[in-house]
Amino acid sequence: MKFIREPYGLTYQDQSFRKETYGGPVGRVFVECMRVRPIEVESKSVIVFTHPIGGGAFLQMVTALAAAGRHVIYCNTRFRGNDTALTMEKCALDLGACIKDLKTRFGYEKVILGGWSGGGSLSLFYQDQAEHPTITQTPAGDAADLVDAKLEPADAIMLIAAHVSRAVTLTEWMDPSILDEDRPFERDVSLNIYDPACPEQPPYSAAFVKRFREGQIARNRRITARVKATLDALRAAGDEHAERAFVVNGTMCDVRWTDPTQDPSDRRPGTCYLGEPRIANDGPVGLARFTTLRSWLSQWSYDDTRADGLGNAARISCPVLVVNNTADLACTPSHAQRLFDAVASKDKSITQIEGADHYYAERPDVLPKAVETITRWLEARDFA
């Protein structure tokens, strides 16, 4: 089916007192969107994909759904391509602005959130706050009023190749052998799974995995404590609005990458969605590699983020479809199952797309099955 791409944007007033993105006036936000729709098919329903740092308008799934007759909008938050200063509360506000706009601009009546990868936990966070608004500030205390925003609830959510949250995913990938953030390359060999001298080798014992996971959480909490202490010191010095940036090394270290018996699936052992895990662990491209005090608390802190997919899922009521790609090199199957188990909605389903990787790039042949599964699910709920 022939389809067209229609890029567009919207702006709205913002409460921020500092620039969080490059360019543009303070106090205004620009949300960049793209509508992808079949040329000859009208619809009152639209699938809205989003992600904290966006960039997915050309995902194979987005294109395939439009080619199958669905109207799709990809919504980029203000943090498109750069999560250094990202706060999840502002992402939810941007998504809310997009949803309000598409109803007046295009006349859509029903909205299905497409929660791809990191967009899954963002969609759940948004829906939770749309159904039960409580947040007026970020975890750092900056204004982000999700109550006054009157976010419009979506009619359904699809969690496709999604993880439970950015904070939990980062923590599960943090290198626990880093015990001092000021000396990140002096590592505890007993926890360094990329060091040939590590006494623990795959398949790992349950005791080692437990110690490894506890070390990851402890490291996240040490960084959080340092962030809060720095913010307190800045405020005590009279710099209430001051911000600081910092680097987090070692963020692609997971026993699942080196031991395929951990969270078993069809994925290839010894690799991840960023390539070789050992290289990605300290490479320039990685979760939270470059971040700020306020952003850390909002999106990366294990204990402070409000975009907690499992907690958010437990408070929503709309229909939810969870799609697990069994060869995913980013979001492993336990994440899909944990999300499904947490969803409070009475109408929830989970499906497995055998052999599918995260992007359907290596196995485009299984993409039609995923699209067919999604289409049947939408049609059964009258999202025509």
Q: What is the pLDDT of residue 138?
A: 97
Mean pLDDT of 225-243: 96
Burial class (CB in 10 A: 0-12, 13-18, 19+), 314: middle
CATH value at residue 123 = 3.40.50.1820
Mean pLDDT rounded to a whole number for the chain: 96
Burial class (CB in 10 A: 0-12, 13-18, 19+), 244: middle
Distance CA 54, CA 285 (A): 16
Query: Using one digit for the tens of pLDDT, what is the confidence trace for 202-220?
Result: 999 999 999 999 999 999 9
Same domain, 41 and 90: yes
Is the pLDDT reported for residue 16 higher than 80?
no
Domain boundary among 239, 272, 300: 300
Mean pLDDT of 232-246: 95
Same domain, 330 and 373: yes
Query: Using one digit for the tens of pLDDT, what is the confidence trace for 18-77?
Result: 778 887 778 889 999 999 999 999 999 999 999 999 999 999 999 999 999 999 999 999
Q: What is the pLDDT of residue 207?
A: 98
Name the band, by pLDDT with cuts 50, 70 and 90, for residue 4.
very high
Contact yes or no for 117/358 (Cβ under 8 A): yes
Distance CA 292, CA 19 (A): 13
Q: Is the peptide bond before 203 cis (omega within 30 degrees of 0)?
A: yes
- For the chain, first and last CA: distance in Å? 16
Nearest residue to 125 (alpha-carbon basis) of 144, 110, 108: 144
Q: What is the pLDDT of residue 18?
A: 77
Domain boundary among 300, 332, 361: 300
Distance CA 168, CA 84 (A): 18
Same domain, 292 and 317: no
| Identity of the residue numbered 278 | R
Query: Using one digit for the tens of pLDDT, what is the confidence trace for 305-362?
Result: 999 999 999 999 999 999 999 999 999 999 999 999 999 999 999 999 999 999 999 9
Nearest residue to 212 (alpha-carbon basis) of 253, 153, 168: 253
Distance CA 77, CA 362 (A): 28
Same domain, 350 and 266: no
Same domain, 239 and 361: no
Q: What stretch of H or E contains 159?
A: strand 156-160
Same domain, 310 and 285: no
Q: What angle do CA 251, 302, 32 make, to 5 degrees?
A: 75
CB within 8 A of 22, min separation 6: which ones? 82
Q: What is the pLDDT of residue 19?
A: 76
Same domain, 30 and 132: yes
Q: What is the pLDDT of residue 141?
A: 96
Query: What sign has the CA pseudo-torsion 311, 312, 315, 319?
Result: negative
Please give the tally of structural domains in the chain. 2
Q: What is the pLDDT of residue 21?
A: 85
Same domain, 13 and 92: yes
Nearest residue to 114 (alpha-carbon basis) of 190, 151, 60, 167: 60
Q: What is the pLDDT of residue 200?
A: 97
Name the band, by pLDDT with cuts 50, 70 and 90, for residue 14.
confident
Domain boundary among 261, 282, 300: 300
The length of the chain, given as a count of residues: 384
Same domain, 146 and 295: no
Same domain, 68 and 125: yes
DSSP 8-class letter at 296: I
Where in the sequence is the domain holding 220, given as residue range(s)? 173-300
Distance CA 156, CA 99 (A): 13
Same domain, 284 and 192: yes
Q: Give the count of alpha carbons within 13 A of 366, CB side only.
A: 18
The partner residues of 143 in beta bridges, in order of sequence, read 137
Q: What is the pLDDT of residue 162?
A: 98
Is the pLDDT reported for residue 15 higher than 90?
no
Is the pLDDT reported for residue 252 higher than 80?
yes
pTM higher than 0.95: yes
Same domain, 104 and 220: no
Q: Which two tokens stand for residue 228?
A: 């809060």
Token pair 């960023």: residue: 274
Is the pLDDT reported for residue 104 higher than 90?
yes
Is the pLDDT reported for residue 382 higher than 90?
yes
